């Protein structure tokens, strides 16, 4: 009898790309470490805004918005309602931070829903 091929861990980060299986429900914590031009560490302050937006073919599929922070982190909760928006395929995501002005932290990173 042959071995059964098992699924890879989901979600996972592999070669700089974020993967998960269609329909999976999960939460993932992202730690955000910002520094000034003088290499001074800047903490996230309640009232600031962090947005994580997911796109497919230039269409926004889902956006997480945060203005309260714990340990300089945010928690992306892919509940059943959020997860069902992501069909099998390739997506991109953007992370932006707004304090006084807007700063892009991550631009056009890839996601693959398997």
How far, rounded to the nearest angstrom, does the alpha carbon of residue 36 sit from its chain's CA centroid? 23
Separation CA 37–CA 104 (nearest Å): 15
Average pLDDT of the residues of the chain: 92
Residues ≥6 apart with Cβ < 8 Å to 18: 11, 12, 93, 109, 110, 111, 112
Q: What is the pLDDT of residue 31?
A: 93
| Better-predicted residue by pLDDT, 43 or 90 | 90
* Burial classification of residue 36, based on how many CB atoms lie within 10 Å of its CB (0-12 exposed, 13-18 middle, 19 or more buried): exposed
- pLDDT, tens digit (0-9, with 9 covering 90-100), for 65-105: 999 998 999 999 999 999 999 999 999 999 999 988 888 99
Tell whether the model's pLDDT for residue 1 goes beyond 70.
no
**How many CB atoms are closer than 10 A to CB 20?**
21
Give me the mean pLDDT over the 24-52 stretch.
90
Q: What is the pLDDT of residue 5?
A: 87
């Amino acid at each position: 009898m042959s071995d059964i091929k098992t699924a890879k861990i989901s979600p996972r980060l592999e070669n700089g790309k974020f993967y998960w299986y269609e329909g999976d429900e999960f939460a993932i914590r992202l730690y955000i470490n910002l520094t000034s031009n003088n290499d001074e560490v800047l903490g996230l302050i309640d009232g600031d805004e962090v947005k994580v937006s997911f796109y497919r073919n230039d269409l926004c599929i889902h956006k997480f918005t945060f203005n309260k922070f714990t340990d300089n982190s945010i928690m992306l909760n892919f509940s059943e309602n959020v997860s069902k928006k992501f069909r099998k395929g390739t997506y991109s995501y953007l992370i932006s931070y707004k304090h006084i002005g807007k700063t892009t932290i991550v631009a056009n990173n890839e996601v693959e829903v398997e």
